[in-house]
Amino acid sequence: MDAAPVLAAIAGAFLLAGFVKGVIGLGLPTVSIGLLGLLMTPAQAAAILVVPSLVTNVWQAAVGGGLLALARRLWPLLTGICIRTVIGVALLPRDGNSRANHVARVGAGGLCSAWSWSKCNSPCRATRKPGSDC
Q: Where are the domains of the chain?
A: 3-64, 67-120
The three-state (H, E, C) secondary structure of the chain, written as one string? CCHHHHHHHHHHHHHHHHHHHHHHCCCHHHHHHHHHCCCCCHHHHHHHHHHHHHHHHHHHHHHHCCHHHHHHHHHHHHHHHHHHHHHHHHHCCCCCCHHHHHHHHHHHHHHHHHHHHHHHCCCCCCCCCCCCCC
Q: What is the pLDDT of residue 58?
A: 85
Rounded to whole angstroms, how far apart are CA atoms 60 and 22? 10
pLDDT-derived band at 8 (thresholds 50, 70, 90) equals: very high
Query: Sign of the CA dihedral 82, 83, 84, 90?
Result: positive
Q: What is the pLDDT of residue 130?
A: 65
Residue 49 neighbours by CB under 8 Å, 6+ apart:
28, 29, 32, 33, 36
pLDDT-derived band at 93 (thresholds 50, 70, 90) equals: low
Q: What is the mean pLDDT of residues 101-107?
A: 76
Range with the poorest average pLDDT among 77-81, 90-94, 114-118: 90-94
pLDDT-derived band at 126 (thresholds 50, 70, 90) equals: low
Rounded to whole angstroms, how far apart are CA atoms 124 and 133? 9
Q: What is the pLDDT of residue 82?
A: 92
Rounded to whole angstroms, how far apart are CA atoms 38 and 48? 14
**Degrees (nearest 5) of the Cα angle 61, 65, 66?**
100
